[in-house]
A and B are shown apart, each in its own frame.
Chain A
Amino acid sequence: MTPRRGVVLATVLLAAGTVLTGCAAVGDTVPGCGDPLRLAIIAQSVPGASYVPCLHDLPPGWSTSGFDPSQDGTGFLLNSDRSPGRPVTVRLTVACNTGNASPSPSRGPGVLTYTRLYSIAPRFAGTLYDVFSGGCVRYEFDFADGSQVALMEQFEQAVGLYPRQQLRLVLKRELGVELSP
């Protein structure tokens, strides 16, 4: 085997290995609540937010896509096979307009939860807000009438809120870096 062929073969094997291992992970796009090191990118997207959204174990039939953190916030989609083509849109931003929204039971300490419904039948559609210091998570849903109770419960359980303070401590301990602010 010539040196050039050796280099080519090694590169192909490396690429194939990377693709094979990488492909296995494709689809697990949104960081889990048990993976704080990867949650840091969400925290950086809204630097003042006291919570960041994360993913608990997804119930059967649910998947995520479109994970998109940027300097303007973080968004992703929650797809259910019982609501095809109408995913729940989750978005972390600095602030939300909760005018006309009704208070709902809080989802965590220091978190104010609101719900605004646009429609109840034939579709159950609206927005859920988790408002906290320095940020807000908005969930836009649109479910068929009849399945909404289970689906609402499932997606609310699927998306958790990870405290920034705890994240800061983990990053300091694990990586020795200071998450600002």
Chain B
Amino acid sequence: MLEVDALASPWTVRLMAWGTIAVLVAFHRFRHLAAYLVIVPGATLLLSAVTQEIGRMRPVGVTVLGPWQGYAQPSRPVATLTLALTGVLYTLVPAGRWRNRGRWVAAVVIGVFCAARLYLAVDHPTDQVTALILGWPLAVVGFWLAVPHDVFPVSYRGGRQAHLDIGGRRGEAIVTALDHQLGLAVTGVEPFGLEASAGSTPLRIHVREPDGAKSALFGKLYALSHLRSDRWYKLARTVIYGRLEDEKPFSTVRRLAEYEDHLLRLMRDAGLPTPYPHGFAEITPEREYLVVMEFFDGGQEMRRAHVDDRVIDDALRVVRRMWDAGVAHRDLKPSNILVRDGKVLLIDVAFAAVRPTPWRQAVDLANMMLTLALASTPEHVYERALTVFAADDVAEAFAACRSITIPSQLRSLMRADGRHLTGRFRQLAPARRPVPIQLWDIRRAAATAALVAALAAAVILSGIYLKVAGLL
């Protein structure tokens, strides 16, 4: 029994806690990590506070056989072991069959441990009941609230964490909302192109037309998690780019959906080849919205399509039209540029801006030319560009172009390609001094200072917090 009791020593619990943290970091499950770092040490602090109120002596009238420390009520070793196991179950183990099995295993482990401590007479039964209440249901409710399974499932099947599960009640809600709000007879909804999207959950929606014909629409499901991601993304861009960008974050999920729907309509009115908007549906008020648009059936990503002069010219004319219409796409990369029947189509206008800075428009041109050059040569793309743009425009585009202005997908494809495309375009275009992008203003300086201060404070407070909570 002493050996069983020793198994749940503070070092065992610490090992489990740090192991959980290490796995969460390794799998980039930062939301679960944040929840864990709030709930588990928080519950430990709560345990300390409760102990001050209801702490009592060890059992009397019997010989205490095992080692003990502190008050008996609530049983601290039982509570911390239970918390550690709950943390593992709700942050590392996928919900469903595996978590159910894990619950049974945890229950057996805790049961044996409690029995050992009762045998050793170091705890009263009620000490253990109080500890189990603190370590299990309270922590489980915390995890339900912080990382609900429907929104943040634990999964090891790959894919981005931002994507929502569209099965179950959410799937039913989507079908009902599309029927009631947009009049669509939905026959099926499936995830589509998850690997290329991080800011929403992209869906292919199968619908039945009034004449019975089948067709497909494209949907982007936005939730609170995407809103928060958008805020962080924009804060990062503010720090990196400075005042050349308008990076006001959206205040609600509804605004996010409204903005994309508005941009789709604006671009359609400007004659740009973007998906036809079908409006957006409210799935859960102020929490989840689904933007619905035309599905470009048969469209191929630029990197997989045959790119000839017709495609190059069309792509460059699309950029020209955006310039003329006073809009910028701001995320031009191969996965957002489709080709169908020799025509270029643009998707994912969520980051687009109306009346952008000339710098941003120049960057759009550079990114389009780099995308085209991946499927052709910089010399040829430059030659075709001169039929649509002035040489100075191209020079300005590549003077404004930096590594951080190129979307990460395009950047990695350029690295894999091996040719120094940006340098070659600069050689071809008239000489022009680089456009400085590291401009500082009060907002950017404040955002940077606040971010650095917040990170430093987080590190210091985490250290204090973990120390107080017994994890250090």
> Taking beta carbons and an 8 Å cutoff, which residues of A are in contact with B?
7-8, 11-12, 15, 18-19, 21-23, 25-26, 28-29, 37-38, 40-41, 43-44, 68-71, 171, 177-180
Contacts and interface: CB of A to CB of B under 8 A. Distances in A.
Nearest to A40: B57
B273 interface: no
B416 interface: no
B52 interface: yes
A128 B30 CA distance: 52
B123 to A, nearest CB: 13
Contacts of B71: 41, 69
B34 interface: no
Contacts of A70: 67-70
Interface string B42-68: 000010111011011110110010011
Given A19-B49, A23-B49, A68-B69, A180 B60 contact: yes
Contacts of A44: 57-58, 60, 64
Contacts of A26: 48-49, 52
Contacts of A28: 52
10 contacts: A12-B141, A15-B138, A21-B53, A26-B48, A40-B57, A68-B69, A69-B69, A70-B70, A177-B60, A177-B61
Contacts of B434: none
Nearest to A47: B64
A4 B190 CA distance: 28
Contacts of B442: none
Interface in B193-239: none
Contact of A68 (B52, B55, B58, B70): B70
B67 A71 contact: yes
A7 B141 CA distance: 9
Contacts of A178: 60-61
Contacts of B55: 38, 41
A37 B407 CA distance: 67
Contact of B52 (A15, A25, A171): A25
Interface of B: 46, 48-50, 52-53, 55-58, 60-61, 64, 67-72, 137-138, 141, 144-145
Given A23-B49, A26-B52, A69 B70 contact: yes
B138 A25 contact: no
B49 A41 contact: no
Is chain A's binding surface mostly helix, strand, loop or mixed?
A: helix
Contacts of A40: 56-57, 60
B345 to A, nearest CB: 43
Given A40-B57, A68-B70, A8 B144 contact: yes
Contacts of B141: 7-8, 11-12, 15
Nearest to B50: A22
Contact of A25 (B49, B67, B137): B49
A40 B73 CA distance: 13
A40 B48 CA distance: 19
A49 to B, nearest CB: 14
A41 B70 CA distance: 8
A41 B53 contact: no
Contacts of A179: 60
A89 to B, nearest CB: 17
Contacts of B60: 40, 44, 171, 177-180
B56 A11 contact: no
A22 B48 CA distance: 8
A40 B292 CA distance: 69
A116 B317 CA distance: 93
Contacts of B67: 70-71
A12 B55 CA distance: 22
A11 B137 contact: yes
A178 B63 CA distance: 12
A169 to B, nearest CB: 14
